[in-house]
């Protein structure tokens, strides 16, 4: 069985591979009359685009998105809007260098998916890793740009909070800083240190992992479909679906195991506006699989890039033991470009659950206190 589609009402199907002619996606379920042009999508793709600093792959892909279908001019406003039909998006691949991969044609890169693709399919597009390459994630970012337009008041932002062993100082967290350094790091001082650290890793022919945090603000309370469509469950699946992700946390995540019940309980008081105020957010904005109205906080761990210059022992397709040193253009820390991808996946899941909530219950639920029940 193939599985190239995710989402229930906001459905995204991607196609294409690293060294094919193009990559693309079809976004189905976007409500009609949503303003949408290429200019709404391009800035997010520009954030993920390779070759923008010495700290990411030097593959030069302009990643110019084209909308092929699903939009029309609104006669009332003259603006281009969605029509409610499938939105097809495409990006041409322009900078493939397939010869870089001739060495891995018959060898399996340890840590990469070469082996399992070959085991499963019996055929493998070794050029740039084919479909196993994160080139495909450009289309998730494009779909995420559409998703962001669906939920009113939603802001989804991501940041790199750890590179290798080096964590940021959360006291220095500044969202504006994320846009100012090549690592999407919210801690200016740590970002400076990452420069020499990652230069050193790259020069040694090695790679490192990272932890990314994504925070979604303006998520209405009530999103999530217990019990098999919990918001946290779907977020975990979406983030785990990103290449090289080996762990996902929501809120306090694994650290919750070391907290006491008192520390972990997000106490509730009443605000003057009749809305509840949570005094902390260990839950990461989700209880029982349903959003509380607090920011939704997710974290994911990205493993170090498997394609490294330093030789590793492996086997080939013919069963011979050998070594492999991967040349070609690779990110020394794939976690950096995973930041906009994580944001996009979170936006898609929240948009999907927003539409599901609307389908089942109409607009967002009213706070229990507003029901005037005694």
Q: Which residues sit at the interface with ligand FMN, rule CB under 6 A?
A: 57, 112-113, 132-134, 137, 242-244, 303, 305-307, 330-331, 334, 337-338, 341
Place of tokens 């082996």: 115
Nearer to ligand FMN, 223 or 235 (CB): 235
Nearer to ligand FMN, 154 or 302 (CB): 302
- Closest approach of Cβ 84 to ligand FMN, in Å? 32
- Closest approach of Cβ 165 to ligand FMN, in Å? 20
Burial of 214 (0-12, 13-18, 19+ CB in 10 A): buried
- Closest approach of Cβ 302 to ligand FMN, in Å? 6
Beta strands in the chain (DSSP E): 5-6, 11-16, 22-28, 65-67, 71-73, 80-82, 87-92, 155-163, 166-167, 210-217, 245-250, 268-270, 276-278, 286-287, 290-291, 296-302, 312-315, 321-324
Angle at 137 between CA 133 and CA 140, to 5 degrees: 155
- Closest approach of Cβ 134 to ligand FMN, in Å? 3
Cβ neighbours of residue 128 closer than 8 Å, sequence gap 6 or more: 17, 18, 19, 96, 98, 101, 135
- Closest approach of Cβ 237 to ligand FMN, in Å? 13
Nearer to ligand FMN, 291 or 305 (CB): 305
Q: Give the helix/strand (H/E) hosting 176.
A: helix 175-178
175 contacts 157 by C-beta, under 8 angstroms: yes
310 contacts 325 by C-beta, under 8 angstroms: yes
Nearer to ligand FMN, 242 or 296 (CB): 242
Q: Tell me the C-alpha distance between 295 and 8, whole Å.
A: 23
Nearer to ligand FMN, 71 or 161 (CB): 161
- Closest approach of Cβ 18 to ligand FMN, in Å? 9
Q: Tell me the C-alpha distance between 231 and 229, whole Å.
A: 6
Q: Give the helix/strand (H/E) hosting 118.
A: helix 114-121
Nearer to ligand FMN, 71 or 104 (CB): 104
Nearer to ligand FMN, 28 or 61 (CB): 61
- Closest approach of Cβ 112 to ligand FMN, in Å? 5
Tokens for 332, please give them. Answer: 């020394």
């Amino acid at each position: 069985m193939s599985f190239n589609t995710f989402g229930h009402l906001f459905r995204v199907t991607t196609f294409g591979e690293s060294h094919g002619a193009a990559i693309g996606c079809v976004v189905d379920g976007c409500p009609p009359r949503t303003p949408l042009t290429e200019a709404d999508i391009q800035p997010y793709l520009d954030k993920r685009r390779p070759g923008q600093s010495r700290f990411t792959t030097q593959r030069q892909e302009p990643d110019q998105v084209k909308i092929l279908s699903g939009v029309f001019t609104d006669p009332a406003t003259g603006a281009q809007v969605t029509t409610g039909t499938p939105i097809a998006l495409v990006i041409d691949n322009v900078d493939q260098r397939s010869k870089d991969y001739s060495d891995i044609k018959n060898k399996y890169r340890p840590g990469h998916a070469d082996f399992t693709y070959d085991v499963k399919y019996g055929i493998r597009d070794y050029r740039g890793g084919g479909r196993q390459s994160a080139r495909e994630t450009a289309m998730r970012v494009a779909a995420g740009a559409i998703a962001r337009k669906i939920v009113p008041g939603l802001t989804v932002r991501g940041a790199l909070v750890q590179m290798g062993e080096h964590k940021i100082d959360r006291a220095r967290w500044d969202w504006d800083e994320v846009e100012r350094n090549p690592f999407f790091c919210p801690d200016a001082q740590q970002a400076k240190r990452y420069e020499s650290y990652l230069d050193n890793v790259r020069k040694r022919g090695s790679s490192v992992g990272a932890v990314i945090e994504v925070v979604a603000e303006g998520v209405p309370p009530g999103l999530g479909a217990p019990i098999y469509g919990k918001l946290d469950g779907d977020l975990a699946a979406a983030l785990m679906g990103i290449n090289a992700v080996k762990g996902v946390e929501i809120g306090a995540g694994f650290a919750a195991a070391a907290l006491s019940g008192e520390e972990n309980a997000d106490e509730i008081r009443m605000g003057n506006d009749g809305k509840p105020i949570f005094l902390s957010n260990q839950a990461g904005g989700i209880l029982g699989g349903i959003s509380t109205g607090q920011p939704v906080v997710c974290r994911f761990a990205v493993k170090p890039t498997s394609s490294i210059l330093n030789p590793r022992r492996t086997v080939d397709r013919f069963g011979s033991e050998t070594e492999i040193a991967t040349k070609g253009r690779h990110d020394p820390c794939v976690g950096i470009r995973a930041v906009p991808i994580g944001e996009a996946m979170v936006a898609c899941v929240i948009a999907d659950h927003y539409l599901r909530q609307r389908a089942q219950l109409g607009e967002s639920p009213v706070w229990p206190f507003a029901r005037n029940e005694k």
